[in-house]
Amino acid sequence: MQTPILRCSGLRKSFGAHEVLKGIDLTVMKGERIAIIGGSGSGKSTMLRCLNFMEIPTAGQIELDGKRIGRVVATTAQGEKVNYPERELCDVRRRIGMVFQQFNLFPHMTVLQNVMEGLITVSRMEKGAARARAVAELREVSLGDKNDAFPSQLSGGQQQRVAIARALAMQPEIMLFDEPTSSLDPELVGEVLRTINGLAKEGRTMLLVTHELGFAYHFATRVLYLSDGNIHEEGTPEQIFKNPRNEKTRAFIARSSEFSL
Ligand SMILES: Nc1ncnc2c1ncn2[C@@H]1O[C@H](COP(=O)(O)OP(=O)(O)O)[C@@H](O)[C@H]1O
Ligand SMILES: [Mg+2]
């Protein structure tokens, strides 16, 4: 049996009294592409952010390549108390790359410097090697001619592709995308989806939160429908989009595709 590259069980996250994730169980095998759909506020972003420890889970466990992250320091009636050493989390965040709706590029740095930054500060790469890798990654997202541009000189679609190159430069084992096209003008969505599709063809392991259901249908090997902090239904794209078993899933799909041609 192959070891899952990522596994979470009983994943919970609360903000104060508000429980946002209510016990998520998910096993991801290498090469899987998982589309995550669901209404606003259902917990999609929080789930991705917990998986790469930008948010610390309130409960549950996450394993990366068979190894549990964090260390159980006590077991009480309320559950386990887990310690997450910052060093370990830095390593996890390097191994699980993330791309956001807002590209979060540094405005005062060139495109090349943006892609090099993490390689130098996080991976402690020597500058020449970092530059060489950044140049290669930018070429990979078809932005080889924009190395010296500043983010403000690029379109939103180009900025998002820089953000993708920056994440790829760290050579992550898993890529998380949180609505990567939601802040783009409609005519720029295609170029970013094309880039993501290219990564799919390489066989990369990816989790993608998106409202682009048509893209998700062709892109994903599996679809999760999140509702109110739970995986309400999951299955193949065929099943979830064409033949949802659950009434709530059915209503969401119908609502989301109401005005598509
Ligand atoms: N840092 C935070 N502090 C407090 N509440 C939060 C925080 N992040 C998210 N939430 C709440 O968690 C719920 C789920 O948010 P989110 O994961 O962003 O949903 P989605 O991405 O599906 O729209 C929302 O009610 C949101 O207000
Ligand atoms: Mg979100």
DSSP labels, 58-97: SEEEEEETTEESSEEEEEETTEEEEE--HHHHHHHHHHEE
CA of 89 to the centre of ligand 2 (A): 22
Give yes or no for a contact between 144 and 138, defined as CB atoms under 8 angstroms apart: yes
CB 210 near ligand 1, within 6 Å = no
Q: Which ligand sits closest to the CA of 15?
A: 1
Report residue 257's pLDDT band, with 50, 70 and 90 as the boundaries.
Answer: confident
Which domains, from first to last, does the chain contain?
6-104+173-256 (3.40.50.300)
User: What is the per-residue pLDDT across 42-99, written as a single tens digit (0 to 9) for each?
Assistant: 999 999 999 999 999 999 999 999 999 999 999 988 889 999 999 999 999 999 999 9
CB 40 near ligand 1, within 6 Å = yes
CB 42 near ligand 1, within 6 Å = yes
* Nearest CA among 225, 222, 218 for reference residue 256: 225
What was the pLDDT predicted at 79?
Answer: 85
Atom of ligand 1 nearest to the CA of 43: 17
CA distance 234 to 218: 16
Q: What is the mean pLDDT of residues 131-151?
A: 97
CA of 229 to the centre of ligand 1 (A): 10
